[in-house]
Structures are given as structure tokens and as C-alpha cells.
Structure 1
Amino acid sequence: MQNPLPKVSKRPQHKDIIARLPKKWTPWPHDKSSCNAAVREPHEAPNNKYWKKKVYWPKKPVVFISDPHADATAFEASLIGAGLAERRSKKDGLCKYRLTKVGKKTEIIIGGDCLDKGPSNLDLLRSVKHLYRLKANVTLLAGNHDLRLLMGLLAIARKKDVGNQHLFVRMGKKVVPLFREVFDQYLDGKKWDKKIPDEDTCRKKLFPGDEWFNEFPFHAAGFLTAEGIDREVRKMESKSHSFEQHCRDAGLSLRQVYAASLVCQKLFLHKKGEFNWFYRKMELVAKRGSFLFLHAGLDDTMGELLLKNGTKYANKAFHKNLQRRDLFGFYYSSIANTFRTKYRDADLPLTERGVTAIHRAGIKVVVQGHVNRDEGQRIAIKKGLVHIEGDVTLDEHSRQQEGLDSYGIGATLIDKKKGVVGISCDYPLAKVLRPKELHNIYA
């Protein structure tokens, strides 16, 4: 299914983007916004010999841009701000940028969460697709918001069971703008309601039954921690009560939401769908030198899988599991934990055993999105593992909620000559961690 009315809008000029970025750099600061307490305070190095081995940097420069969350303006501004792209004309709108010489020599890793929040999911997806048209070296990683949509679409396409019947409503209010966009661009003004059932039938198709709340804790036993089961049930109690109201607030009935979801199935899941490439090109992890790029984090099981089988196997397992009939088994697995975890008690655990396995696999640093920061990138030691947090709050919706101005601009450069460089419009200086300084994190 092709978009009948391509949306074109003006983008900020090159000079305006550059004017909002830092002009000078500083050695990576040790303030609270740039390092967590484990980095700022004396901290013992990992208790294994593998951490002490040489750090290998990516063979070519990598620029990590994460969590654009449906904001094509911020995404394109970040490409331009990182020196990867430029626009030919002041009048150029969406998808009119081209790669610079630097952009052609750099790997661009998109760290997940292209969807949800706003202002436009479809604009953002078309902007990312433009990178592929330009034959850029792009790696697209899976984010939790991206996979939530896929789980919701697959759930309503399959027979209901205890493990999957909550996955549509579980997407919550942040997915509603996408259904609004899809309805407006593909259904409005057409006879969309011809084969759509009545409101009550749509509600039954989209929502979990009352029995789900009693049955799910038993179904999830042995898969989730006790904290995880309790968190899931409480989350669904809240979302089941509020989801329909969020739809109404967006001007959508449940019939319209159901109709839009069927269009989304065609757009994302069918071979000829406009966004069929999105999940097909997606990867779970990318290892470049001693750096592992992913959306959220790791657990013991994933650490051992990476040690024994490597990242190529992990990415293949990710896609194989997406084809499984058992959505529950996938979404609550260690694979999915990789784009969902925040190292809470409710998440699958990462212990010293897992960290040792990760270091044995030649991974020294995890580069992640998922945890948004409002003063640029942050280095954190979590569970004994070094993380570079690269979600610098790009999307307009989140920035409004956090009191930040305008659209976001930010990118993280990983380069064997320059080290780790964090640029953000919300921090006055570019943060630089030189290659020789990485081990000093534990000093």
C-alpha cells in the first residue's frame, strides 16, 4: 500500500541547526548530567581479566542517533548537525537532504524507537527510508516502542490467548497518534467503515477479556519475575481503563482505530506495504570493535548467548522469533529484554556472571538509547558494565514535557582517532572521551 498524499513540510535551515550546537569541546565532564554516581565516585574495575584486554575501536567512524520518536525534523537536524547530511536549497522539505563526504564514509546506527510520541510517525519513517535510497551505511536497531506496534498488530491478527490478548492495548496512548495519522492519510474521505464491525465487537477484538487479569499471572509464572508479573498486571489495569479515552481525545472511535490498525498491517507486514522494510531491516544488536550498540541493555542469558554464538546469531534469532506464533514467548524473552530493560527488579537480571560473559565476548562498552537525558549524553556504570547513554531527547513531544526548547539535535560519535564524542543542543560543550581514557572510568 502506497501513501496517496506524501506530506512535505519545511525544515530548519543548515545555519539555524549549527547555531544551536556547541562550538567548543571539553574532556568528558564528571558532573551529574554526564556521569552516574558509579563513574563519579571510586569504583573497582570488573573482577575479571577480560576487561583488561585491549579496547578495539570501530574500523570506520560510527554515529549513533537514537530515539527520534516520530520527529523527522529532529532526526534530519541530527544528521546535519553531525556533519553527515546537508540540504541543497533553503526551500527543501522532508527527504531532500543528501549525504556529505563524511556521511558517505560513516556508519549511521539508529538506536531504535523510531515510533510513538510525535509529531509524525510516517514522516520519520520516510526520512529514514531516504537514507537507504541514498545508499548510506545504515544499521537500524530494534526499540521497545517499535516492537510494541508489531506485537499489537500481530496480536489482533491471530487467535486470542492469555499470552497475546493484552498486547494491543499494551501499546498505550503513545501509539494513538500513529493511528490518527494513518486514518487521516489513508482512510479519511473513503468508505472505510464498510467491513468494520460495530463498536462493541471492535472493543472485544482490541481489549483483553476480564479473565485475563486472573489467568495471566499463572501463564507468566516461570517467565517473568514476581515483580515483573505484578508490574505487567498493574500496567494493564491502568491502560485498559484509559486507552479508549485516549482514542476519543484524538477524535477516534474504536471502529476507526480498528480500521487504522488493519491498514497498518498492510503498511508494515505485507510484502508490498510502504513500510515493509522497517521490521525487515531491523537488527537487535551491532558489535563494532569492543562496542556493542543496542537499544536498552543486556541480561545474563543474552551475555552468554553473545559469548557462545556472537551477534550474527543474536540477530538471526531475533528475526526467527518474530515469526513465532507465540508472541508471549518472544516479548518476555531475553531477546526482547535487550530492547526493553532498565535494569529494574521487574527486568531479567544482569549479574557479575553475565558481565564476565560480555567481557569475554570482547565487549567493553554498551552504547544505548532508551533512557532519555536532557543535558546530552551520559556515561554510566550499570551492574558493573559501562554504558554510553545516547538518547538525548530529540522528539518535540518529550521536549515540551521536559521544558526543553524547540526540536532536539544530538548524536554520539565513536571513532578510533577522536574517541567518544557527544554533541547535543542541550549541553554547551561537546563531550569528548579520548581513546586512552576509557579505562580511567574505573579509576
Structure 2
Amino acid sequence: MPEQQNIEYKQSWHDDYLKWICGFANANGGIMYIGINDTGKVVGVPDYKKLLDDIPNKVRNTMGITVEVNLNEKEGKYFIEIITMSYTVPISIRGRYYYRSGSTKQELTGASLNEFLLKKSGRTWDDIIEERATYDDIANNAVKIFLNASANAGRLPETNTSLDIQDLFEKLRIAENGQLKRAAIILFGKDPGRFYANAFVKIGRFGSNDADIIFQEVEEGNLITLLQAVVNQLNHKFLTRPIEFEGMHRIEKSEYPIAAIREMLLNALVHRNYMGAPVQIRVYDDKISIWNEGMLPAGLTSDALKRSHASKPRNPVIADVAFKGGYIDAWGRGTIKILDACKSAGLPEPEMQEINGGFNVVLFKNALSEEQLLNLGLNQRQIKAVMYVKEKGRITNREYQQLNTCSRNTASNDLADLVKKNIFKPSDVKGAGAFYQLK
């Protein structure tokens, strides 16, 4: 039986495993088995009697918590079961905090530790009073933009729209007793970067790889104005938009669905860890990615984002104001909107994954890039053939053989597979004149 989110197998006991127990206690609890290998096979522990006494004592002495320790037997081999409950207070071991995330243990430090401790105390980062800020730090134009947006969305009571800024902020719960919360600075601040160094968006244009950066720009400001500023910057300098004419009207179409870009950016700005690195947008010839620091909430996976899922915002105060302004909804549908927008535009399914301590979304410009073809399981011969057809328009069986220096049988099998994968379509012509084109 393989290891799962809340189950860990160890062949023998080492005191270093106390960190795993600490991680379970700080997360959703879990079970550790001593005397079972990684495949779930019972190998037994010879010193089980001693461990039955030692483990509970070591847990209590190092962490101040209790665990349930049971002795089990299978086919004459004894193994130990350690059941750890989830604790509502933060648990540390020798001053260090650990957390079970997925199937791995991670030590919490810096911004992630701060976020964890706030969560355990029933608070979130954006709900804390910013002692250094006053209403002179608020940008009135951003408030006006928000009020117009909320009026169009119909999510803010009309009585709130006529309030002065101080009363409005109290109603929005981004101020308390005349003092601004961090959320107010992020949403409406004149210069959020003065308070939080990395509250900006970095945009880079790359060549063939991440080391090949061609140029870059930085957009600073509050969340309300950043949304439009980043889109404008992308359109102005980073994206090539094909222009079509219909009658006398000039129509500009973005390389990527604007709805998808908007949702990606909103997700990054609303759900990012504001004590971590800035939001990073990378633009390549055939794709664009948006990364924000902050892993997915516990219990939420990348696959779950592709279907209906609960909304679990990292910054609930910021998210609530964004909802009232009509920027996001409160049902966790942002990622589904990204998928739907790409599907409607005939683009490949976006990639969504946790990486480098954050969350990354990638949009692909077309389904026939080498990266996408590899994801579809094509071999190098088939990829070379697709690139050939993109340039020449068609390919025959003989040309496939010559291109890849392979037998007719190999070429036939590869081409049949490309047809099966809906990448190639065979010509109506059969026999010697047969050829294949892109579907």
C-alpha cells in the first residue's frame, strides 16, 4: 500500500522522525507506521517493546503533545502505529516548526512561518492593522474605480457607495476603529511597495529558455490599478496582436484569451503571499506564464482546480473586497474560467502546478509547439514530422522515412498514431499519391 497524504511508512525508528509527527500535528494529523517499508510491506521492528515506551515520552518531552502508540502484528512480524491528532495551536520541536504538505514534510520559516502562526491564531495576513499607514496613503482614484466596478457588479449596497472613504473602509472591513489594515494598502494604497517591498509585478520577455531574457518591465501600484496596468503593458510591449479587417472596422485580437489573462492575474494578485517574492510573468514565443508565491491551501490540488471546488482564499479580506467589486466570484471558479477561455479559443489546456514555493499557470499559444507535442506523448520522429508539415503543408510516407531515416513499417505506425491523436488527417487520395496534413 503506497504512502498517502496522512500516512507515512518507516522501516525503523529514528529520532529525526519526531519532525514528521510535528508536521502531522500542525497540519491535518496523520499516522506513521514503524516497521513497514515504502511499498507497504511489513518488515517488523525487533525493539518494539522499548519503542512503545520511548516514542510517547520523546514526543511529550520535545513537543508537549501526546500521540497514540499501538503495537500491531502481521504474519509474526510486529510493527508500531503512531497516531497524531491535528492541533489548533502551533506545535514546534526545539523551536522549529514543521508542516505536512501533500506527502512531504517542510520546515516553516520566514513568510510561510508567519502565515502559519497567524492562521493558527485565527487571523490572516491581510486582516492585520498596518500601524504605519494613514488615510493619506490611500489613492482616491483607485477607490473611485472600485466603486464604479462594484456598481456595475451590483454586489455593494447602494448606501455604501455614498459613504466617505473612512466609513466605506470600515464597512468593507479593511479598517478598524480608524486604523487601516494591510488589505487596504494592497487594494487602494498610493504606494504599497513602501510598506511591503515585493508588492509589484515583474514581467519578462524570454527567448528559447529562462536564461535567455530579452527585456523586462516592472509594474507597481495597488491591486485595483495593477490589474489594468499589467494588461496594458503586456499589450503594448510583450504580446504581438494580429490585426484583421472586417469591412471598414479594424479588429485587434490578442494572442491569448483576454479573459484567461485577466483571471490568471487576478488569482495571482488576490491569492499571493505578500511577504514573499513579487508576481512574475514570463512571456515566450509560444507561451505565457504567471507565478505567485504561496502554495495551494491544504486539501486543494492542481487537479481539483480543473473542476468545481471550494474557494479557500489565502487573503480572505482582499478576496471579499475583490468580490464586491465584481473582479472575482466567491465560488472558486477562476481557474475553470481560464480553462473554458482557452478551450473556446481553440488553445491547449493550460498547465497549473505548484512550483518553487508558489503556484504557476501556463497558457500555450498553439497546440503544436514541441513542448505540447511532448506532453501528448509524441516521439522525436513524430515531432520532427509535425514541424515539417507546419512548414511544408503535407508529408508522404516516403518523405517521413527519409526525414527520420526509418523503415516504411515504422513510418506507417507513427503516422497512424498521429491520425489517432487527431494531429494529422490522411488525404482522400489513396495509394502512391497519399499524404498527410494537419487536422
Q: Could you state the TM-score of these two structures normalised by the residue count of structure 2? A: 0.24
Structure showing greater Rg:
2
Q: Could you state the TM-score of these two structures normalised by the residue count of structure 1? A: 0.24
More strand per residue: 1 or 2?
2
